[in-house]
Amino acid sequence: MTKFNEVSYIIHLMLLLSVSVGFSQQNFKTEKPNAIKENNKINIIDINTLVDQAINKDVQLIDIRTIKEYTEGYIDDAINISFEDREKFALEFQKLNKEKPVFIYCYSGWRSHRAAKLLVTLGFNKIYDFKGGYKAWSAYSEK
């Protein structure tokens, strides 16, 4: 490679890197306020917190798994509002008290994380997302 080609290659590489960093910073700046806002409303909880704050308590405990998953077993007195049908999900959640905390879980935590974000848009302010979900509960309750 000639000296000119090496310099040209380095300049192009630096330009590409600076553009990439610029896009990353722009995305970070536009997404961060939403993440902060959601974090004030969404609390990721572990099994100990779930047991202390929701089990045998008068709370809104919602299993967002499919009806089939729910009929195979659920936590405490959870009601089922499946995340599978988003329209029905939103309608059913509108019936709940938005001022009271809502505890949600799925099988492992992936769906409940997405559902928690949707609940913020529906006006819920105190969302407790059980990380680990029914899978973690099953392992815990077998002890």
Give the global pTM: 0.72
pLDDT at 42 over 80: yes
SS3 state of residue 125: coil
CB 114 within 8 Å of CB 42: no
pLDDT at 80 over 90: yes
- Domains defined along the chain, listed by start: 41-141 (3.40.250.10)
Beta bridge partners of 45: 130
Burial of 141 (0-12, 13-18, 19+ CB in 10 A): exposed
pLDDT at 94 over 90: yes
